[in-house]
Amino acid sequence: MKATLNAYKVIATVVGCLLIVLVVIGVPLEFLSSEGSGAKSAGNFLTEYVGIAHGWLYMVYLVTTFVLSRRARWDVGFTIVTLICGTIPFASFWAELRAIRHTQAEHPELVSA
């Protein structure tokens, strides 16, 4: 389960960061900058490729989180909140911390570094 928890930490952090790049940087650049400007094309690039990467990594996040939820015996509500928070910028980091603490509280043997 330790490996699963570590995998969860990595994928949740990566997905959370990509989501912020996408929503906080890419989308405003694409839609707020003027046509033909460098900012516009940078925004296009970000939403295109970061969008694709985020979409697929979110799928990996879903599966990893689900596997962890079963191994750590999370209840249904906790699992669903954690999965959904992965789609909300910044909230994903809160959910990640919450999930790690919850898992370590229930399974103290995981805390040892």
Among 27, 67, 88, 91, binds another protein (CB under 8 A): 67
C-alpha 17, offset from chain centre: 7
Q: Does 109 bind another protein (CB under 8 A)?
A: yes
DSSP string, 30-76: HHHSPTTSHHHHHHHHIIIIIHHHHHHHHHHHHHHHHHHHHHTT--H
Among 71, 88, 100, 104, binds another protein (CB under 8 A): 71
Q: Which residues bind another protein (CB under 8 A)?
A: 1-2, 47-48, 51-52, 55-56, 58-59, 62-63, 66-67, 69-71, 73-76, 79, 107, 109-110, 112
